């Protein structure tokens, strides 16, 4: 039992799982689950008690039992004791102070990542202010490569998301062209398909590959279908670059997605067999989101932010190219308003990077949440400052297929201009070669003319 006395009041917390839940910044999902702190005073007491917990306690006390959950077994069995040694003596509060110190350089933190468990990362994030999450997040660079190199300092990539409610090729092509002319797409071209039909998925893969090959674009494509469909598409000879799957932080939640660690390994091996990368072989694309385990009734009483961090342990096991927290997509039942969405996005980025995961963020909200585009502008700017690997690029920031609000092509242009960020180096060179980007002094700006290579494509779409 953990306890904390403040004045004449003593709060007691039954176990580490309960303590972590009560210490979480307020969010609607934990309240819905009945595990949140009952008051700000209880939350403060829990945070104070959590600050005194030794980091080694997370190796001795699992929030979900080892015997019943394969994600817990993965976390414990792959823990690197040697990497953990430099911080082994610290408490959670001491770990926070150390992370904020000049001793915790990017190189030091990269070496530490295999020695940290998701619960350690989640715990320390609960003690951090927004500025702390940004400061430490900015130190952390997780670099991956396929046809382009993502995560380098001074760069921010975008997923060009040309979704269409009927998977119409002309509509998808129009969105692709629009995004490319704003300098989007270096993270990937990624379509959420309207159909789960394998032939339809293969046709979309062929279309995206055709665009990449025709215009010699140094990027990668992905159709966000179930991993077993990707395996089947590979078996049929489809030109598949990245293997996608939504994942969560518990075995039961992953089972609700129809996956296990074994199935993910099969997808990873199938993707590697194609050898389609040119500058690297990171090829898994995972999406996560706070509240997914709770929505599947598979959270085991663990708070949603800790469950989310546990999903990053699953992701890092497969050397992903990209991991994307779709932060406000599930709805206000889990993240009620703009304040909660902003906090969650920064927590996810911090925890993912601390664990060695190449984090991006779909900065988004549903129309029934107490949030608006100003909140998304705030989170987008903060994440750009924190060094996020990539964000979304969607026409007009309105996804007409999934019916939610996210970030647009020109939003990414804004962040790059204001913060001096650039695309992936291979993609930047291609943009300059085609005339989409031009250099003005020390800065890269969008070109002032339509690239000759795209003139015919635009005419065909019209």
pLDDT tens digits, 163-205 = 999 999 999 999 999 999 999 999 999 999 999 999 999 999 9
> pLDDT per residue over 80-100, tens digit each?
999 999 999 999 999 999 999
> pLDDT per residue over 295-336, tens digit each?
999 999 999 999 999 999 999 999 999 999 999 988 999 999
Binding-site residue numbers for adenosylcob(III)alamin are 193, 245, 295, 401
Indicate the pTM of the whole model: 0.96
> pLDDT per residue over 154-163, tens digit each?
999 999 999 9
Query: Which of 318-327, 391-400, 422-431 is predicted with the least confidence, judged by mean pLDDT?
Result: 391-400
Average of per-residue pLDDT across 65-93: 98
Amino acid 399: pLDDT: 87
Binding-site residue numbers are 159-161, 192-193, 245, 287, 295, 362, 401
Contact of 287 with 224, CB cutoff 8 Å: yes
pLDDT greater than 70 at residue 460 = no
pLDDT greater than 90 at residue 108 = yes
Average of per-residue pLDDT across 51-77: 98
Rounded to the nearest integer, the mean pLDDT of the chain is: 95
pLDDT greater than 50 at residue 462 = no
Amino acid 454: pLDDT: 66
Q: What is the dihedral of CA 404, 406, 410, 411, to 10 degrees?
A: 160
pLDDT greater than 90 at residue 447 = no
Query: Which of 21-25, 170-174, 436-440, 453-457 is predicted with the least confidence, judged by mean pLDDT?
Result: 453-457
Binding-site residue numbers for substrate are 159-161, 192, 287, 362
Contact of 311 with 289, CB cutoff 8 Å: no
pLDDT greater than 90 at residue 148 = yes
User: From CA 144, how far away is CA 286, in angstroms rounded?
Assistant: 14
pLDDT greater than 70 at residue 370 = yes
Amino acid 400: pLDDT: 84
pLDDT greater than 80 at residue 368 = yes
pLDDT greater than 50 at residue 293 = yes
Average of per-residue pLDDT across 5-10: 93
Amino acid 457: pLDDT: 59
């Amino acid at each position: 039992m953990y306890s904390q006395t403040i004045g004449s009041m003593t709060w007691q917390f039954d176990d580490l799982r309960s303590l972590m839940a009560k210490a979480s910044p307020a969010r609607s999902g934990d309240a819905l689950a009945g595990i949140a702190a009952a008051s700000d005073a209880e939350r403060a007491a829990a945070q104070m008690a959590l600050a005194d917990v030794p980091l080694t306690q997370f190796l001795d006390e699992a929030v979900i039992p080892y015997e019943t959950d394969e994600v817990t077994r993965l976390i414990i069995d792959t823990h690197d004791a040697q990497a953990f040694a430099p911080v082994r003596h610290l408490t959670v509060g001491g770990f926070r102070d150390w992370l904020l110190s000049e001793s915790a350089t990017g190189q030091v933190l990269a070496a530490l990542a295999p020695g940290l468990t998701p619960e350690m990362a989640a715990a320390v994030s609960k003690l951090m202010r927004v500025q702390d999450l940004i400061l430490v997040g900015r130190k952390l660079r997780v670099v991956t490569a396929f046809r382009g190199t993502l995560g380098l300092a001074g760069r921010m990539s975008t997923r060009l998301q040309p979704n269409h409610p009927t998977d119409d090729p002309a509509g998808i092509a129009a969105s692709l062209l629009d995004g490319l002319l704003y300098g989007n797409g270096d993270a990937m071209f990624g379509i959420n398909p309207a159909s789960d039909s394998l032939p339809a998925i293969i046709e979309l893969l062929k279309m995206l590959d055709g665009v990449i090959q025709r215009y010699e674009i140094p990027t990668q494509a992905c159709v966000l279908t179930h991993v077993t469909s990707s395996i089947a598409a590979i078996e049929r000879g489809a030109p598949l670059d990245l293997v996608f799957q939504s994942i969560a932080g518990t075995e039961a939640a992953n089972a609700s997605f129809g996956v296990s660690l074994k199935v993910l390994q099969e997808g990873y091996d199938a993707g590697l067999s194609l050898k389609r990368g040119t500058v690297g072989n990171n090829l898994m694309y995972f999406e996560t989101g706070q509240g997914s385990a709770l929505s599947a009734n598979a959270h085991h009483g663990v708070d949603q932010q800790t469950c989310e961090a546990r999903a990053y342990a699953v992701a890092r096991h497969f050397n992903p190219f990209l991991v994307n927290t779709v932060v406000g997509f599930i709805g206000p039942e889990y993240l009620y308003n703009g304040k909660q969405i902003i906090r969650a996005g920064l927590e996810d980025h911090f925890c993912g990077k601390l664990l060695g995961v190449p984090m991006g963020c779909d900065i988004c909200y549903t129309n029934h949440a107490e949030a608006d585009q100003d909140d998304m502008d705030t989170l987008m700017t903060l994440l750009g400052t924190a060094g996020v690997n990539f964000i979304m690029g969607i026409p007009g920031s309105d996804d007409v297929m999934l019916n939610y609000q996210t970030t647009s092509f020109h939003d990414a242009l804004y962040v790059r201009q204001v913060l001096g960020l650039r695309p992936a180096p291979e993609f930047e060179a291609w943009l300059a070669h085609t005339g989409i980007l031009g250099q003005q002094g020390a800065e890269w700006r969008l070109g002032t003319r339509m690239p000759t290579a795209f003139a015919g494509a635009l005419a065909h779409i019209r």
